[in-house]
Chains A and B, each alone.
Chain A
Amino acid sequence: MIEGKDLRVYFKSRDIVVKALDGVNVSVKDREIVGIVGESGSGKTTLGRTILNLQKPLSGEVLWNGKNVFKLKGKEEKEFRRQNQIIYQNPYEAVDIRLKVYDIVAEGLRVHNIPKDKEEESKIVMETLRDVGLTPEDEYAKSLPNQLSGGQLQRVAIARALVLNPSFIVADEPVSMLDMSIRAGVLDIFKRLRDERGISIMMITHDISTLGYVADRIYVMYQGKVIEHGSTDAVLDKPLHPYTQALISAVPIPDPSGRTSLFSIKVKEEMEPYNGKGCRYYPRCPFAMASCREKEPNLSGVSSDHYVACFLY
């Protein structure tokens, strides 16, 4: 469906070059939720933006149904923009606070000249608001963003992406601003979109535990590289990379009786700076060997649905 090949995005800040994406391969198939997980600075947001042609890469290509998206022009580019949508982490910053919910959602429809008349526009908008659980929809349509809670506004942001009937959505930390108690409701919307409408979703997050409930496959990123990827079951049940293991063990367990064994994470505080040639994770890795300092490991398959970049395997 959509595929990124050997993507490289470097940012220059004075004389420092930050490799936000350093040779990343990623694919999202039809009817699939793919999770991208990593800490801040791992390049996960840059990946989402590059896939949607919001960031031009230094090299590499993104194929959308076989076409290179960086070469799309005119009508084709507009169609790409309609079919591929993004949802941001902070809905308060993502919507125009002066517009009513109705207009926020309808704006995209107008840009793409989709509805024939006002009546059809209203029908599509109302249906979409119902779809994301904002009922009674005519009440919500009239509200302004400052009258809504974060969870309600995030649903508006989803409705805005959905109204254009996209085939692919990048959701960048869609629930991390929301209360725990309403996250499941928003995650359920994404699952429904996949199951009922066949929409593919790339969900970007720093919290691997939410992916356990929605993703079909997971990519783990560290400093601009994919260091492990595979089916959700493979990655979560048998995490191989020491970084993935640390990510999973850092998820707080909601059970006070197991307290003594908590925080079993083995991560070193980064003491030595990265030497520029070894594995990016070796300064923090508790299992680092001499070879890890010399050469970067490549992704290699341990099974048909599980890949890891680590010399331990």
Chain B
Amino acid sequence: MSEVIFEESTDTLLEVNSLKTYYTTKTGYVKAVDDVSLFLDRSKVLGVAGESGCGKSTLVTTIFRVMPRNARVMGGEVKFKGQDLLKMDLKTFRKEIVWKDIAYIPQASMDVLDPVYKVKDQMLETILAHEDVSRAEAMERIFRTLESVGVPQEKADMFPHELSGGQRQRVVIAMALLLNPSMIVSDEATTALDVITQAKILELMKSLQESRKFSMMFVTHDLSLLANVSDSIAIMYAGKLVEFGDVEKVFSNPLHPYTQLLIKAIPDLRVRKQKKLVAIPGFPPDLENPPKGCRFAPRCPLAMPVCSEKEPEFSKVEGFHYVACHAVNKK
């Protein structure tokens, strides 16, 4: 459907092509990711945003092949360095790709550390499971990596509960960096943190990304974070990609009515007296029986008759900026 977007890619690392991941239920399918295409270039940051239930986490679990049991990939491919990850042998995928080339910083990541192992032991396990190095070499790397995320070496000897939330988050980031992956996926990694800690962690992730030149896929419901870290932005709604483009273009000229409302919903202290905070009326649709036509139409302030009849095409607006909306395409 939207192969056109790949023309914008200059140095592709990840290419998600017409991906469909559905959950089977007693009564049918929940179309959590429905024909989504996007790409991520080398050394760039892609932000993926949308409300809960829009399919952003399903997208992540599909890429990592850790979907719940009732989820099935119904079509499409996830190409990483030209290779379709979904077709790889699962064992090889886990040994060669996960952690080694694509690392994951999960939601509520400060709680993912195993409470009964010391920080250094968990990190050691990650290295030794994937690489054939000596213990001493691995320890050396652990200390260096901890240092690079601002955690003093002596903390390696501690248990997770002895660290603060921010420090645990830093340890998880260090674990993602251990094997020097070319891509890191962060799923709501800063959502549970205090604002000051969040700002410092974001700053850290951005500076590591710039110095180590890995690619990052940054998934969040908070668009304002993406303005600060990403190069391109993909907006998802109810399993569909509705807008995709360069971060500056999407923020300065949001085209999809959904993106426009999302941006208006961000509290901005600089303009709090002039700007009223906007809520998007209604709730996302049931993905088992998504509305006909554009899935956002029932909540859309600009909906026209055609919107509930025909699904809008994903089309290019200008430069690297794509949108799926009848109201925009008409102009």
Contacts and interface: CB of A to CB of B under 8 A. Distances in A.
Interface of A: 39-40, 149-152, 179-188, 206-210, 212-213, 236, 246-257, 259, 262-263, 265, 267, 269
A180 B265 contact: yes
B53 interface: yes
B220 to A, nearest CB: 9
A150 B52 contact: yes
Nearest to B280: A181
B287 interface: no
Interface residues of B, number: 42
Interface in B264-309: 265-270, 272, 277-281, 283-284
B227 A181 contact: no
Which of A39, A181, A265 has most chain B Cβ within 10 Å? A181
B251 A207 contact: no
B248 A256 contact: yes
A262 B228 contact: yes
B195 A250 contact: yes
Interface stretch (B5-13, B199-207, B310-318): B199-207
Contacts of B270: 253
Given A183-B279, A213-B267, A267-B200, A253 B227 contact: yes
A38 B128 CA distance: 41
Contacts of A256: 227-228, 247-248, 251
14 contacts: A179-B51, A180-B224, A180-B262, A181-B221, A181-B265, A181-B279, A184-B277, A206-B194, A208-B195, A247-B195, A252-B224, A254-B224, A254-B251, A256-B227
Nearest to A187: B277
Interface of B: 51-53, 150, 165, 194-200, 202-203, 221-225, 227-228, 247-248, 251-252, 261-263, 265-270, 272, 277-281, 283-284
Contacts of A248: 269
Contact of A149 (B52, B228, B279): B52
Contact of A182 (B194, B196, B279): B279
Lowest 5 A-B CB distances belong to which pairs? A185-B279, A184-B279, A250-B199, A184-B277, A209-B267
B221 A269 contact: no
Contacts of B268: 209, 253-254
Given A256-B251, A259-B228, A250 B51 contact: no
Given A251-B269, A252-B227, A265-B200, A151 B194 contact: no
A212 B227 CA distance: 21
Contact of A188 (B194, B224, B279, B284): B279
Contacts of B266: 180, 254
Given A187-B277, A213-B272, A259-B228, A252 B222 contact: yes
Contacts of A185: 279, 281
Contact of A184 (B203, B251, B265, B284): B265
B200 A255 contact: no
B223 A254 contact: yes
Contacts of A186: 279
Given A40-B165, A253-B268, 8 more contacts: A39-B196, A150-B52, A181-B51, A181-B265, A206-B194, A213-B277, A252-B222, A253-B270
Given A184-B277, A213-B272, A254 B263 contact: yes
A286 B152 CA distance: 21
A182 B280 CA distance: 6
Contact of B265 (A149, A183, A206, A250): A183
A236 B268 CA distance: 12
A247 B196 CA distance: 6
Contacts of B279: 181-186, 188
